[in-house]
Structure 1
Amino acid sequence: MIRRLIVSCFLCLCSLATYSQIVKTKLIDNGGNGPYKAIAVSEKTLPDFVVYRPENLKKAVKKEGTLPILVFANGACANTSITHEKVLSEIASHGYIVVAIGALKMSNDENWASTEAQMLVDAMDWVVNQNENESGDYYQRLDLSKIAAGGQSCGGAQVMAVAGDARIKTYMMFNSGMGDMTMAGASTESLALVHGSVIYIVGGEEDIATNNARLDYERINHVPVTFANMLDGNHGGTFNEQYGGAFARMALHWLDWQLKGAADQSAVFLESDLSDFKNWSMDTKNFTN
C-alpha cells in the first residue's frame, strides 16, 4: 500500500511538473474537429505568444509521431491571434503545434499593438529549446525538420521578411501577397529568399490581397507554389467560422501533404480536386509530382 502511494504521488508530481509552465488555457470550438482535443495555452517561458496544441500531447505523439509545427503571424501584424484562433485551434486538433504571435486573450477587446517579424524567429527558437528541455511538456515531441511559417494579411509580409530562415520548410500566405509593395520589412525581393513550397490562400476579387498574391505566384519560379482562391472569401476568409471553415480545411490539406507526407491530400492541389471546396479555384506550378 505504501509503495502504491509513493508511485501515485510520483506520477502526480510528474504531471504537475509537465504542466507547470502553463499560465492559463482557453478552449476554442470545444477543442476542434480533429482527433486530438486542442487547447490554447499561455506558456510561462513564452508570454507574448499563444501555443495551440493537442491537450493530450502523449496521445497525439503516440499516434502521429513527433508533431510538426506552424509559427503564425497575425493580420495587421497585430500582437493577438484571437481573430485567427478558430483556424489555428482546428489545425492543432489534427496533430500540430501552432505558435502564434501575441499573448493569449480570453475575449476580443480590440486593443492591439504592432509587432516585428523577428517574433517568428523567436517562436522557432523557443520550439527548438523546448524540444531539448527534459523537464518540459514538449521534450522530444516536436519534429524540427517540419516547420511551416504562416501569416494573414500583414502577417504574411512578416513571413516573407524572415523567409530566409533555413528551418522553414513551407510557407502559408493567407489573404496576403507582396506584389510591388514594401511591408513589415519585406518586399518583392523577399520572394527570392523562399526555399520551400508556398501556398497562397486568398478570398477572391473582394480580397485586397488577391492581386498581389497573384503577382507573387507568377513571379515565383524556383520553388513549388500554389494559388488557392476562395472566390467569395473576401479578405477575412473563413477565420470567423466554426472550426475555421474552408480556410482551415485547405490549410490542413496542405500541411498534411507538405509536413506529414500524406500523398492522398495532394489531389486538391495537383489535380484541382475541389469537390469539398465549393466556389474555389486552384493553380499550381513547379511541382515535380
Structure 2
Amino acid sequence: MRFSRTAALVCALAVAGGLTACGTEQKEPAPTSVADARDDYHPTVRDATTGLDGHTVFRPADLDTFPDSSVPVLAWANGGCRTSNISTTSFLSGIAAQGYIVIANGAPDEHPIEQLPDDTLARPDRLTDAIDWALGAGSEQFGGKADTEKIGVMGTSCGGVEALLAASDPRVDSVVGLNTGFFPRKRFGYERTELDKIEVPTLLFNGGDKDQAKQNSIDNFELLDAPAVLVTQETAGHSGLTYGLDAGDTSGPMMIAGYTMVTDWFDYTLHASAEAEAQFAGPDCGLCTKPTWTVRAKNL
C-alpha cells in the first residue's frame, strides 16, 4: 500500500484534526524484508503510552505490515521544552508514516502553555524515560515490532537541547536537533561542554537568518567531534520546518521537506541506506542541489 508524499501530509493533517487513524487499504501480506515494509507511506495513529504518563505514541496504524523487531524507535522533545506535542502532531505523523515509532513528550490531551518561565530547564530524562518504556513495559504495545537496537532522539529549539543531552545515553544511535544548539553561556541548565559527550551521528538544522538558533547550530556543529551534518534552509525560520511554513506559505511543502529530511537521516544512520546517505554526503548530495538548502558534513 503506497502513499505519495502529498497523501502522507493529508493523513498527518487528518490525525492533527482529531482522527485516530488515516487511510484505509486492504491489508497485504507481511513483507519479507524491512526495506519492503518501509517503501510505503503508512496510515498512522496517535496513541497514549500505556503505563507511561506524559507521553504520546505516533506509529504506523498496522504494525503487522512490518517484520518483527524492525521498526526503529524515536523519542521526540517539543519546542520550548514543553510537555505538549499538539503543535507538531502533523510533523510527527509524517515521520511515523514512513515506518517509525515516535514517542513524544506530552500526553495526547495536553495543550501548550503560551508563556514559558524564564527558568525553563531542559529535561532529557523525559526522552530516556520514553526509551526505558519502549524497551520494557511498552514493548507489548507494539506487538514485538519495535526494533530496540535502533533508537534515535530528536527535538526542536529547547527540545533540541534535550535531544542533544539524551544523545549521550549509550542506547541512542543517532540524534536530530532542529533550530537548536547550546548557548555560549549556560542556558536551560546546561553548557556547550555537553557536546563533548556526543559520539553518535548528529544532524543539526537551522532555518536561515530568521532563525534565532542559526548561530548556535553553526557553533555547535563546529564543536562536535562526532560524525555530524549541518543543514540550512534559508526560508524556514525558527519553526517553519515543523509547522509547514515557508516564508509565509502555510500550504505544507516545508513540513514535507522537514519530515522527509529527518527520516532520510534516520534511514541513513539507523538503516544504513545508501540512498538516504546520498542526501547528505558529498558535494552533489541530494539536499545540496536544492535551491535555498546548504549542507556541511564532517567525520561521516
TM-score by length of 1: 0.80
Q: Identity of counterpart residues, as a percentage?
A: 26
The superposition leaves residues 59-84 of structure 1 with CA deviations (integer Å, 9 ceiling, x where unpaired) of: 1x23x851101101110000111122
One-letter amino acid of the structure 2 residue matched with residue 77 of structure 1: C
How far did 1:202 drift?
A: 1.2
SS class of match (2:109): coil
Tell me if structure 2 keeps the 8 A contact 1:41–1:52.
yes
TM-score by length of 2: 0.78
Greater per-residue strand proportion: 1
Name the count of aligned residue pairs: 256
* 1:117 is the counterpart of 2:128: no
In 1, Cα distance between the equivalents of 2:89 and 2:159? Answer: 14
Tell me if structure 2 keeps the 8 A contact 1:26–1:39.
no
Larger radius of gyration: 1
In 2, Cα distance between the equivalents of 1:234 and 1:211? Answer: 13
Map 1:56-135 → 2, pairs under 5 A: 56-59=62-65, 61-62=66-67, 66-105=70-109, 110=113, 116-130=123-137
Tell me if structure 2 keeps the 8 A contact 1:131–1:139.
no
The superposition leaves residues 79-105 of structure 1 with CA deviations (integer Å, 9 ceiling, x where unpaired) of: 111122212111101110000000113
* 1:156 is the counterpart of 2:163: no
Question: Residues 264, 192 of structure 1: CA spacing in aligned structure 2 closer, same or farther, 3 A cutoff?
Answer: same
SS class of match (2:240): coil
One-letter amino acid of the structure 1 residue matched with residue 74 of structure 2: L
- Return 152-161 or 50-59, whichever deviates more: 152-161
From 280, 292, 297, give the equivalent of 1:279.
292
In 2, Cα distance between the equivalents of 1:112 and 1:71? Answer: 24
How far did 1:184 drift?
A: 3.1
Report what 2:33 is aligned to: none
Report what 2:265 is aligned to: 254
Question: Residues 49, 111 of structure 1: CA spacing in aligned structure 2 closer, same or farther, 3 A cutoff?
Answer: farther
Gaps of 5+ in 2: 1-16, 24-38, 245-251
SS class of match (1:204): coil
Tell me if structure 2 keeps the 8 A contact 1:52–1:98.
yes
Report what 1:42 is aligned to: 48
How far did 1:110 drift?
A: 4.6
In angstroms, what is the RMSD of aligned CA positions? 2.7
How far did 1:205 drift?
A: 1.0
- Return 189-198 or 233-242, whichever deviates more: 233-242
How far did 1:245 drift?
A: 2.3
The superposition leaves residues 155-176 of structure 1 with CA deviations (integer Å, 9 ceiling, x where unpaired) of: 0111233332101111100100
Map 1:170-185 → 2, pairs under 5 A: 170-185=174-189
Gaps of 5+ in 1: 1-24
Tell me if structure 1 keeps the 8 A contact 2:73–2:150.
yes
Tell me if structure 2 keeps the 8 A contact 1:163–1:190.
no
